[in-house]
Structure 1
Amino acid sequence: MLWSLPVNNPWLIFCLLFSVLTPGWSIEKTWIDILHGTLVNQQELLKDLSQSRIIYLGEVHTLKTHHKAQLDILRLLYSRGVPLALALESLDAQDQKLVNQFAEGHLSFEQFAKLIQWQKKWPNYLDYRPLCLFAQKHRIPIIGIDIQPSIPSKIARSGYSSLTEKEKKLYPLPSLSPLYKNFLTPFLAVHSFMDDKRIAHAIEAQRVREAFMAKQIMNFLESPLGIHRTVCVVTGEIHVRYGLGIPQFSRRYPQRLILFGSKEPIKLTPKELQASKKIDLSHQKFSFIRSPVADYFEVIQE
């Protein structure tokens, strides 16, 4: 540990440290242990991560700096001899047979992407190419964890009650706490077409999706291939912040949550801008959440 702050609120520590780490600082790869309010070096970070079974690597999907940081973590853990697996939100679980063929070297990235129609499902799929190629090269298993798109789409349109009994058995809806609803609502309200009913349906869809993704991770960890591995889960940070999404369903395994900083601007398409509205996503808006936003945060110096 390099130094500590006499502040008891971990989220406040995060905000303070994020605000003071300016380009004038010469610190490279600065990791913040949010639980303790300390700066840790790379070796301290990796020592802790190496003892986990699940490492959530949150991202803003379109930020290239986030994808680079994720690959850095994967490389560092691999170099320490940690037996790894890579789980991607951007890959559907229903495509796992093809995912396995790629991971085992039987398909090129281009062949694989074409077969699963990845560009159609995930427009920035090329951002995941370096991660996938690294895993393929080093025989790291890759897991597709996302649900088939038709299910969350159906729930988002008409609510969970619109699913058939068979679908409900396959895709159960866990309980929705007020804390979870209050966290997620502002992020959904950014869409101009969202009213209270649509937000309620979207929250159900998100919860079903997160529970499904967690199940895929847990199933792998309990399989012969995964029983001794650590899974690096690459997913949107909204699914893991404060441990309220996917991590809630995987707590029986030691897990860590990492978020990344970036100076890279988030770019919206004209269509996305037209469908969005300004909302309050300030610190105060989420001050009701008492748990830390993550275990570690990386401030990226560019």
Structure 2
Amino acid sequence: MNTVKTVRELRAAIAGARSKGKRIALVPTMGNLHSGHVALVEKAKQRADFVVTSIFVNPLQFGPSEDLSKYPRSLAADQEKLIEVDCDLLFAPELEEIYPDGMQGQTTVHVPVASEGLCGASRPGHFDGVATVVSKLFNIVQPDLAIFGEKDFQQLAVIRKLVRDLNMSIQIMGEPTVRAEDGLALSSRNSFLTERQRAAAPALYGCLNDIASAIRAGERDFAKLTGKGKTALRKAGFRPDYLEICEAQSLRSADPQDQHLVILAAAFMGKARLIDNLELNLASAD
């Protein structure tokens, strides 16, 4: 695997792959790779001939009080993981390579509707930062396809709308959330959890499953369900940010007649803000 740090080097490597007729896949990450990221690269290897993974901790998507300075960085270990799964190219740029004129004057991309509510409400400007850096990576790499994890459900919706609205000829693929044996969604922020907090953290996914079970059983008072869910999260040691039941395609608040739902949650456990979701397709339920 080759590691490059500049756009010029990256484009030269991709031009070589293109000249051989290879299909290009991009897996954008912020590093500190875990099994979930590895699964994305493995899927990319199945769908393309030349896989580019990017590692860039994007300041533009962090708020002033968020964990940018403490966000875990582990480039050497990440490189080892990527070599093991036969990634073709790692793009690991410095901040100045992505934002050569600084971030204050950077042209930004705003994706309406999909960016609103949920994490968009809790983290103002977050999805503008995501949409901007993803647009830059798409323009730099010009991949045929890009793969993202479904744990970041709203982010995936934002990126799909971005690509659709701007007529980008990139196939966007979402891959199911990779979980630990106890159900906790794998996340770089899990490293912030103490041993005790880690033991309690699977209650977040347990809460989503309890709500899903109630819906499958016929419960349609969504406000009541989310209210009970937040109480359960607090008892488990979480500080809920949001817990909502939405229509899965539009991410609007769900109506009782909706058949394709997604239950989304964000909650703090100590210093870690964890997110998770669970899709529920009632039309295909037994």
* Common fold by TM > 0.5: no
Greater relative contact order structure (CA < 8 Å, 6+ sep): 1
> What TM-score results when the alignment is normalised by the length of structure 2?
0.42
Greater percentage in strand: 2
> What TM-score results when the alignment is normalised by the length of structure 1?
0.40
